[in-house]
Every structure is written in C-alpha cells, then in structure tokens.
Structure 1
Amino acid sequence: MCTSRDPSQGEAAQAGAGRRGFLRATALLGAAATAGVALPATAAAAEAAEARRAGSRRPDTESRRFTLAVMPDTQYLFDGPSIDPAPVEASLRYLLEHGRDENIVFLSHLGDLTQNGAEDEFAAIGDAFGILDRRGVGYSVLAGNHDVRSTTDDQRGATPYLDTFGPRRFQGKPTFGGSSPDGYHTYHLFRAAGREWMVLALDWRLSAQGYAWAEEVLARHPRTPVVLTTHELVVADDTLSPYGRQLWDRLIEGHDQIFLTLNGHYWPAGRAIRENAAGNDVHLHLTNYQNRYFGGAAMIRLYRFDLDRNVIDVETISPWILGRAAKGLNELERQEIELSGDADRFTVGIDFAARFSGFAPEPARPARPAAQLVIPGTVAYWRFDGRADGTPVSGTVRDLSGRGNDLTVVGVGGGTLTWSSDHHPDQPGHGSLEFRGDKSPLRGAYLRTVDGAPLNSATFQHGYTIEAFYRLPADWDAGRHAWSGLVGRTGRNGSAGPVTDDPDEPLATLSLSDGPGPQWAARALNRQQLATNWGDETARERWWHVAVVNDGRHTTMYVQGCPVARNPHAAAVGIASAGRPWLLGGYEYADRIDQVLHGRLGDVRIVSRALPVSSFMTR
C-alpha cells in the first residue's frame, strides 16, 4: 500500500539508490565522490573520513527496503607474508559510505577470513574490521576450513580465530544475540521492515553440541525469520555438498524459520532451492570469488530486501576496484568492477508474508466500530458485516452515518445479492456483499438509496471523498461484466443542462472498465461534459481500495492510497444532481439499469470534504 513518509526516514532516499550509488562510487558523478571510497593516506585521515561519511548513520528499522551485505572468502588477502588489507577495508568503508542510501542493516562474512589461520593474519583482518567496530555497525563472522584446523569441529578449543573474533569482540554490540559455549557459533538480531530478523552464523563443522545449541536458539526465537550463514553447504547449482546435505537434514529442513542460507568455500557462485518439511522453499546461495582477480578483491554481495515488491535484488561489486576507477583501471579490474552474470546479479521472488505465515503469521486487523468511521463531514457510511455467508440481502441496509441515506435491494432478471464475510484486510467492517451481475441476459441485484434520502440532492460544492472496497472473481469477463458500477448517482447527464458529450451517461459513476480498472466519470457543476479519472488495471481475486477525492476544484483518484496517473487537471466543482437515487453495484444508462456488478463490494463511505490519504478507511 502507498504511504506518505518523511523522506528523512530513509525510504524515499532509497529509491534508485543502487545505481546512483554505483555511479557515485565509480567517479562518474565526479572525482570528489570517489575520495571517500579510495583509501586515505594515513590512519588518522581514514578515521576522519569515516566519521564524516558515516556521521550518525543508523538503519531505518521501519523501512520495507533494507540491505544485507555479504562478504565471502578473503583468504588470499591474508596469506602469510602477502597480507594486503586494502580491499577488505575498502569494502567495509563502502558500507559506511552507502549505509544510509542502501539502508544497510548488517554484514555477514562467510568464513576463510585467512589462508593459514595464523596469528599475524588474524591480527591484520581483525584490525580491518575495527572500521565497523568503531562505527557500531553490526556484523558476523564464522570460521572456515582455512581459519581453523579443517579436521576439527566446534569443540577444537582455543585458536587465533577465537582470540580475534570470539564472543568477547561482540559483547555489547546492539545486534549480538549470543554465542555457543565453545564460542564458534553466534547469532545476531537486527530490526528491519518493522520486525526482528536473525543471522545464525555457524562454524565450519558442527558437533552434536553445536546442533543442539542452534536448535535451542531457534526455539527461543520461534517467530524470527533466519538467514543461516556457514562456510560450506552448496557446492554448485542445485547441488549440496555431503556436509551440506547433513546440515540440511539435521537442521535446515525441519526449521521453517530458515528461509535463506549463504555459504562460500566452493566456486563459481551457484544457487539451489529446496522444499523444507513445512512445504516452503528455502533459497541456498553459494557466493565465492577468491578464484578471480586479486583474490576476489574482497567483493561484497548486496542483498536488497524489498517487502513491498516481495523480492530480494542481489548485486555483486568490488568497492576496492570502484574506488580505483578515477585513476584508471587495468584490464582485469575492468572485468571485475561489477559482476553481471546470472549467478551474481539476480532477483529472488519471495512472498514474505506467505513464506513466514507458518511461524509468524501476520495478525488479522480487527474490525473497527462504525462510530470511528463516522468522521466530521460523513454523509453516508454503509458496511456489510454481521451476517452469515450466503444469506440473501433483504429489507433495508442502514446508513450508519445516521443521515438517513438507507439502501433497498432491487432485483433484475431474478438475480440475487448475498452477504459474505470476505473483506479487504484493512477494511473497518469484516464483511461484504456478493453481487452476481451479468449483461447477457441482464440479471443481478443492486442497492439504491431510498426516495427522499438527503444524499440524492447533495451537490458537494465544497468537495467530497468517495471510498469503496471491491474484489472481482476469477471468472470476471470484460464482455459480460465491464462498466458495472461500484457506486454512483442516477440521472442523465443531459438533465443537468447543455452537454458536449453523451447526454445519456449517468451524472456520476465509479465504474469498472474493461481492464478491469476503476473509472470515475462525473458531471461537475461548472462543466458541460463529464470529467473522467482513469485508474490502472486491478487484478482479479484481490481486494482493492479506491478513493475519489475532490478538493472543491480538482478531483484525484487513489487506488490503495496511491494517486493514479490519469487524473485530469481541468477544474471540477461538485457533482450535478437530478434529485434521484444513488446506486451501489448498479449502473444506469439513459435512465435504465444497464449493468450490475459481478464481484464483492465492501465498506462504502461518502464524506462532504476532501480527505487526506491518512484519513482513508484503510488507516
């Protein structure tokens, strides 16, 4: 749903941030922009540059767009006498530089930090990660087979890895959740998109104690989505290693919270998808570039979560090479600056709400009392809840505004109108009406305001807001069901005076085009023809909210709280009236019923003033 947000909260700033950030870093927006990525000459300058760039950066924890950064094997950069921390430092500074633009919430290293697991190698990479420590940025590391003796598991005892990246390093960090007693496994919690997420960072090899610890952590956070990181799991596209299969069988398959796994160790990059015991997909990704130029140049992979689009957009870049672009790149650097192959730049589609529903279902929004919806200026409010599914509608449907704009049922060709408990998730009333209209032959049932209802003569000279919820079934067909009305005023266009368009159209109608999509066509008091607002196509089998807002001069249509493109600029004051009824679910042409809605109609409200989006019934 569209929402109005303060751009300072990060969401607006993120639009297009990936490409804009890339251009900025490659000096295509000026050499000055790359100065922050290239390494400063001295440690003091580096600290100052970091402070200037990072400022008081903190992730926007409520934005539905956020980024998880991943760094795979860096072992060739920390190999005995050939230690070169510059690429890793450039990647870490990139995270600080772009933390706000990208809403970077966390970094995960996938193991093999070093080549030999030696003290001097760990001292060097430990110093590099101090860049994040000093800025309070959350991250995780884990041991790969080159960081510890590969024949051992998590019960191996003390190592230079544990001395450098053991639990003591993370104590007090906001994202640190805890570690296993041996210190080789950790879990980290961060808040993003308004909820808690976990990175579960597991050692090169799990013992029985390691598995038990991981299961206990998951049990203590039963509603938290989990990204599992480890060094070895996927070996190639659609293939797990023997140890990876063990990890799947003993831990991943039976824990629905784990929806994404990330590992290094093997190359080239690859992906697998497996169905877990709950019947849900788990995405398993292998990312490792140590075989590429400069030992992978500390490439990072950016996992950009977008919960509105239900996707994770993945991009792989080398900030170290990006920072060198202004000085000119050699042949191999030009190939590595950004990877664009299918294994390195791709999109993962995940319906997050559905995927997490088994362990963390989104609570249904409760119904709201009708009195809360009768705000100042409300002239009519109809809702259709409190009746058993399939019960025929009969008698009078009351106007809950108390203004006397009650509705009665009109049948056509033996058609029926029934109650339903189905409703839009943000609808105040938990119910709707089931219309079964058809054009060939014409049949169905609709609602009309009673004779003498105040609404029949209202002209709304100072503005209005008309809102409705609707849902179309899978069998909705343009040839049989298009141009039926959701809500509208009867009376011929020609009855309001001279016209320059079709005189037989109704004075006002919020109808469904052959798209299907909402269309508002109304005869304003200051016009001799209908003013029309066109909405985009709206999918079948989904609930939609539509609002038409007139501020006394111009009319704007909103779908799901978002303004549509085809809102006319022409002035439109009020709505002409012939003193005749309004219809719900019906559409008249030339003073005769011409079409009846085929679908469900939820709450409908009419207010005699322009409402902001924040006051719509969905809020």
Structure 2
Amino acid sequence: MCTSHEHEHDHEQVETAQAGAGRRSFLRATALLGAAATAGVTLPTAAEAAPTSASVKASWRPDTDSRRFTLAVMPDTQYLFDGPSIDKAPIEASLRYLLEHGKDENIVFLSHLGDLTQNGAKPEFAAIGEAFRLLDRRGVGYSVLAGNHDVNSSTDDQRGSSPYLDTFGLGRFKGARTFGGASADGYNTYHLFEAAGREWMVLALDWRLSAKGYAWAKSVLAQHPHTPVILTTHELVVEDDQLSDYGQQLWDRLIEDHDQIFLTLNGHYWPAGRATRKNAAGNDVHLHLTNYQNRYFGGAAMIRLYRFDLDRGVIDVETVSPWILGRAAKGLNELERQEIELSGDADRFTVDIDFGDRFSGFAPVPARASRPVSKLLVPGTVAYWRFDGQSDGTAVSGTVRDRSGRGNDLTLVTVGGGTLNWSSDHHPEQPGHGSLEFTGYKSPLKGAYLRTVDGAPLNSATFKRGYTIEAFYRLPADWDPDHNAWSGVVSRTGTGGAAGKTADDPDEPLATLSLSNDREPQWAVRPLNQEGIASNWGQETPLETWWHLAVVNDGKHTTLYVEGCPVVRNPTATAVGLTSVGLPWLLGGYEYAGKIDQILHGRLGDVRIVERALPVTSFMNH
C-alpha cells in the first residue's frame, strides 16, 4: 500500500461500512459462526496455535478433479505487523479458517498480495513468517510477494538480500508440492496446483520487475504453454477501469501478449476495484484490486474467496473476516459488526467466464472422435439412426438406413414443399458427427420429417420388459413458440382412441417425446397398463445449445433424463411398455388425431432405441 501522500484521494473515498449485510450475509455469517463454535475457528491462544501431532501429520489434499474449487486471496496485512504493535491473531484466524474449511470449500491455494509488513523489519517478518507456519505444517500451497513496504520501495527485484527474502525466499518453499520455481534473485516465484482435472499457475511477481524479471516471467510462461495463469503482484489496478503507470507497464510488457493470463490480482490501493481489458488475442483479462487495510483493525487479515465453478462458467467472489467471525461468540464491538462480512458490489460479485472458450487459444480441448456404429449397438438395440457422412446443406432424399440392422429404416415425408438437410453440426459427446436440419413451421404447416417404413418391426413393438429411447437435439435462435412449439423429437403414430384408450385426450398420439412452448422436453405415452396418458417433464432447455435426452423404462417405472440427469417430474405410478396399433414412428414429426400437426424446427442428432433399461453410463453421451 502507498504512503499517505501517494494516496490522498483514496482516503477521501473510504468505503461506507456495509452495516446492512442483507439476508445472504446474515445466513452465511450465522453458518460460519456455528462452524466456528464447533470447529475451533475462534481466536486461538498462543498455546493453541501450536498444531497437534495429528494435525501435523494430516496433509493438505484438495479434490483435484472437482470442477468447483476455491482460491483464497489475502491483501495488505502491513498494519498488523508494524514495529511494536505486532498482532498475529487476525492472520492466524484467517489461516486457520483455510485449514478448517479447506475440504468443504475445496480450497486449493492462497495468494498473498504483498505488503505483508509495514516496515520490512526483521521482527515483523519473524512474526508473520511464524504465522504462515500454520500452512507449512499442513503442506498448504500458497504464494507471497514483496510490496513496497516489505522492501526498499525505490528498488526492483535486483535489490539483493532483505528480511523479506530471508523469511519467504527459496529456502521456505523449496520442496513444497505446489512450488514451481523462483527467479535467480528470489523475488519472483511461480506455483502450480491441480484443480478441475488440469494444471493452473499462480505467477507471483515482485513490487517492481527489472528487465531480468520480465525475461524470467516470459520464460516461465513459455515453459508452461498450456497452463492458465493467475498473475499476482502488489500494484496494477488503481481504481475501477484504471491501471496505475506501473500497472500499464505490466500490461504492455507482459500481460497483453500472453493469452494464458486470464486473471490478475493486486493490492496496494484502496478501495477495491476491477478492470477488464482485451488482450492481443482478443480475449478478456480480468484485473482485480483488493485491499482492506483502510478498514477496521487494518483489514483484520480479511480474505477473498474466489470460487471457481467450471460447469456454471463463473467465478463467485466473496469477502469475509474469519477473525471477526471467530470473535462473535464473545460479542462484537460496533465496528466489528460492520466489518464481519463485506457485501458491496466491489466485494461480492460474479465473473462470467466460459473457461473452455477462454482457454481454447492456448489449451484447446480436443474434440471427441466419432465412434463407430458397432460401439453403439449395445445388446437390445432395435433401432439406431445417425446422420453423418454427408456434405452440409445436402437435401435428404430416399431412405435413411437403420444402422442397427433390424430393418427400421426411415423414409422422407415432405409437407408444403419443405426440405430436410444434412448438417455436420453435432453434440460434442455425440457418437456420429452429423445431424439433420429440420425447418418446420406451424401455420401454414410446412417442413419435412422422417417415418419408419411400413412393416418395420419397431411399428408393432410394445416393450413390455422396458426400453431406452435417446436423442440429441438443438434449437436455433429463431425458434418461436407460436410456430414451433409441441413438435416431436421422436413420436409414435396412432391415437389413444384407435387403441381403445379414451381417457384424457383420445386424439393424442400413443407416444411422443416433444418440446413444449417453453422448450421443456415431455415424454407423454399410454403404457400398456394404463388407460390415460403418463407424462414425464423436463426443464426449459436454452436455444442454440445441444441437448441429450433419454427416456428409460425398467418394466415398472419411467425416468426422463436431460444430459444424463434425472428430471424432477418423473411419475411414480407403475408404467409397463408402450401401446401400439402397428403404425410407424416419426422423427421430427408429431401427429394429432391421426394427422401431421407439427414439424420440428431445429437439428436432430443420433437417435437410438433399445428394448431394455440402460444405465446412465451406457447412454450415447458417455
């Protein structure tokens, strides 16, 4: 953090304390206080700070495969380590929080952003160095870096020896599981950790890089060309959407041309702020300033939790004070109550990142190869249709062959002059690398669909022992519920009335896997043992996204799956088989009262029907 004359305007912008933390903050704080009361997060005495033999032996083991993990960030702690007023309690509380919540938060790493101390003096470093032994004893991965108060601020990373380096130099990190290496001067380090099934890097850089420092950083990035990088340094962002002069230099000389760097973290200035810039590859780099030393008790070693969720494509950021949380049971003073958890927009927010897309320039995920038909013909397969091997835009004509060899071939039916075309677009987990593009329209009815040929064995099948029906589909941006709703993905023709089952609507088809006006998949059928229609409902499926559906009946009950996940509205009533009147099945078409009523508007990928219940692990998207 800068001296007061460097930061005069920032003192005039001290953030208003977040006294009204809101319901979410209250609930989270309450939960943490409960954990503190039962898990020992409360402020420890000096004697309690020493680990037990059991805790020494217990090593740090984050879940490296989980697609949800947390990076902890600690900014300027300098006021806690200022000459005669050294107070280790707040930082020890934060470090203990990481140990206590490491498993449930899946905390993989801690990054300190510099200005560990106020004066860079040996006693100050001795105190904070001892505090960090809490992590050393458990093998927790962490990084530190020198801020301007930790070293002579007029020097760069070629300054030579210092109390900082004596405490947090190579000797401390050598042999640590996450330590990758250090520059020859010792002031720049890189750290590698495993999370979400891949390697990540924290590149921790000195307060001021020399030419040698820049060269070293570039060499580290070159040695790890496929590793996403979080760059930490003491100074970079000065306020929202603004870099400092040195921060601009870092951007120009290092960050902009290295696409691997997707996130930067720095302290030094206050209040907290953010910037986003496009790098030379045209990708966003998120640059975050976090510093709370201007707040009560010098920030009380407050920590930020960066919760990565690769499935949701977000980083959820939250700021908490474990030291104050741990004191709550004894009663908090007025300022502590305001600081227990920060809930302002600068302190709790979400960063949206499509990680696969963002990292594709330097670490593309190889596309899954097409799988041969033979691999999909599991025992009990009665029909398998796939639509690869044709040029984009080529019109479908004639017969589409059933690849199972069971004779359930498809023939083209056109309505109102509509066409059906081949496409190479497909679900990333689909066995066949192709699809059919349907262009159905409700009024006037127009399009083209496929139906099984007369005499196909599938037409009379009743599946008394169970079945699995799977399909991949994707709806385009111009899908309109007024003209495209209730089109069938896979349907069976013949009505309930024709089968002598007149409960509910007798004109509805005997079986249909359709998409509602809200793009919800619905499986509506008349089982052999029921007069009425049994329906399974999925949730709304967004446009321009490939989806996999599976309907599974084990001879007693039917379950609808979306992307291999069971939906909530699966009826519990016994359902046996499927009623048939010997008429064809349709792909992309839906009949009502025995006449074609709607045609799919979207793409349809591989479709498979198996005369038994398959486990999720045997679905086509596995």
**TM-score w.r.t. structure 1 length?**
0.94
Supply the RMSD in Å over aligned alpha carbons: 1.7
> Is the aligned partner of 1:444 residue 2:450?
no
State the percentage of identical aligned residues.
77
Q: CA deviation at 1:41?
A: 5.2
Q: 1:517 Cα deviation (Å)?
A: 2.1
Q: 1:223 to 1:549 in 2, by over 3 A?
A: same
Which string of whole-angstrom CA distances, capped at 9 and with x for unpartnered residues, describes residues 515-572 of structure 1?
1221111010011111111221111211111111112111111111122222222221
Supply the distance in 1 between the matched residues of 2:39 and 2:338 (Cα, whole angstroms): 19
Q: Which residue of 2 aligns with 1:83?
A: 86
Asked if residue 540 in structure 1 is aligned to residue 561 in structure 2, the reply is no
Residue in structure 1 matched with residue 427 of structure 2 by the alignment: 424
Which residue of the other structure, out of 382, 386, 407, is the alignment partner of 2:385? Answer: 382
Q: 1:514 aligns with which of 504, 512, 517?
A: 517
Instruction: Tell me the SS of whatever aligns to 2:446.
Output: strand
How many residue pairs get aligned? The number is: 599
Question: For 1:54-81, what per-residue CA distance to the aligned partner results, in whole angstroms no more than 9, with x for missing partners?
Answer: 9454110111100000001111111111
1:226 aligns with: 229
Could you tell which deviates more after superposition, 195-204 or 430-439? 430-439
Distance 1:226 1:56, change over 3 A: same
- Among 189, 192, 199, the alignment partner of 1:189 is 192
Letter in 2 for 1:145: N
Give deviations 1:18-61, integer Å, cap 9, x for gaps.
9987434313x6x7415344314515x64129819x94541101
Distance 1:553 1:22 in 2: 47
* Whole-Å separation in 2 of the counterparts to 1:379 and 1:37: 63
Indicate which of 17, 29, 32 corresponds to 1:25. Answer: 32
Post-superposition Cα deviations, 1:270-313, rounded to whole Å, max 9, x if no partner, equal 11111111111111111111111111111111000011111111
1:482 Cα deviation from its structure 2 partner: 1.3
Cα separation, 2, equivalents of 1:81 and 1:437: 78
* Closer, same or farther: CA 24–483 of 1 in aligned 2, 3 Å: closer
Kept after mapping to 1: 8 A contact 2:25/2:341: no
Alpha carbons of structure 1 residues 32 and 474: separation in structure 2 relative to 1, 3 Å: closer
Once the two structures are TM-superposed, the CA of residue 358 in structure 1 deviates from its matched residue by 1.3
Secondary structure of 1:249's partner? helix
In structure 1, distance between residues paired with 2:39 and 2:64: 28
Q: Does 1:276 align with 2:279?
A: yes
Specify which of 5, 29, 38 is matched with residue 43 of structure 2.
Answer: 38
Q: Which amino acid aligns with 1:38?
A: L
1:577 corresponding residue in structure 2: 580
Amino acid at match of 1:203: D
**One-letter code aligned to 1:518:** P
Cα contact 1:34–1:323 (8 A) shared by 2:
no
Equivalent residue in structure 2 for 1:294, among 294, 297, 302: 297
Contact kept in structure 2, 1:231 and 1:263, CA below 8 Å: yes
Which of the numbers 154, 160, 163 marks the counterpart of 2:163? 160
Select the residue among 556, 560, 563 that pairs with 2:559. Answer: 556
Partner of 2:506 in structure 1? Answer: 503
8 A contact 2:39–2:100 mirrored in 1: no
Residue 579 of structure 1 aligns to which amino acid in structure 2?
G
Give 1:163 shift: 0.8
Distance across 1 between alignment mates of 2:480 and 2:127: 67
Deviates more, 1:139-148 or 1:351-360: 351-360
> Which structure 1 segments of 5+ residues have no match?
1-16
- Which residue is equivalent to 2:437? 434
Q: What SS does structure 2 have at the residue aligned with 1:26?
A: helix
Q: Deviation at 1:174?
A: 1.1
Q: 1:66 aligns with which of 64, 69, 85?
A: 69
* Contact 1:34-1:326 at 8 Å conserved across structures: no
**2:44 alignment partner AA:** L
Q: Is the 8 A contact 1:25 1:34 kept in 2?
A: no
**Counterparts of 2:157 and 2:59, CA distance in 1:** 37
Q: 1:470 to 1:415 in 2, by over 3 A?
A: same
Name the aligned partner's letter for residue 493 of structure 1: G
**1:492 aligned residue:** 495
Q: Distance in 1 between matches of 2:273 and 2:477?
A: 38
Aligned to 2:355: 352
Go from structure 1 to structure 2 and tell me whether the alpha carbon gap of 1:553 and 1:40 turns closer, same or farther (over 3 Å shift): farther
Q: Structure 2 CA distance, aligned partners of 1:403 and 1:427?
A: 22
Q: For the residues of structure 2 that align with 1:376 and 1:131, how far apart are their CA atoms? A: 57
Q: State the Cα distance separating 1:191 from its structure 2 match.
A: 0.7
Amino acid corresponding to residue 112 of structure 1 in structure 2:
D
Q: Cα deviations across residues 483-526 of structure 1 (Å, max 9, x unaligned)?
A: 11111111111122232111111110111111122111101001
For residues 328 and 439 of structure 1, the distance between their equivalents in structure 2, rounded to whole angstroms, comes to: 67
Tell me the CA shift for residue 422 of structure 1. Answer: 0.5
> CA separation in 2, counterparts of 1:441 and 1:34?
67
Partner of 1:51: 55
Q: Which amino acid aligns with 1:468?
A: A
Structure 2 letter corresponding to 1:48: T
Cα offset for 1:396? 1.9
Return the letter of the residue paired with 1:25.
L
Specify the code of the residue in structure 2 equivalent to 1:194. G
Shift of 1:91: 0.7
- Deviation of 1:324 (Å): 0.8
- CA distance in 2: counterparts of 1:463 and 1:198, whole angstroms: 50
CA distance in 2, matches of 1:59, 1:372: 36
Q: Distance in 1 between matches of 2:25 and 2:166?
A: 36
Q: Which residue of structure 1 aligns with residue 16 of structure 2?
A: none
Give the 5 Å matches for 1:115-264: 115-264=118-267
Relative to structure 1, the CA distance from residue 93 to residue 50 in structure 2 (aligned partners, 3 Å threshold; closer, same or farther) is farther
Secondary structure of the structure 2 residue equivalent to 1:214: helix
Aligned counterpart, 1:303 = 306
Q: TM-score, normalised by structure 2?
A: 0.94
Shift of the alpha carbon at 1:123? Answer: 0.9
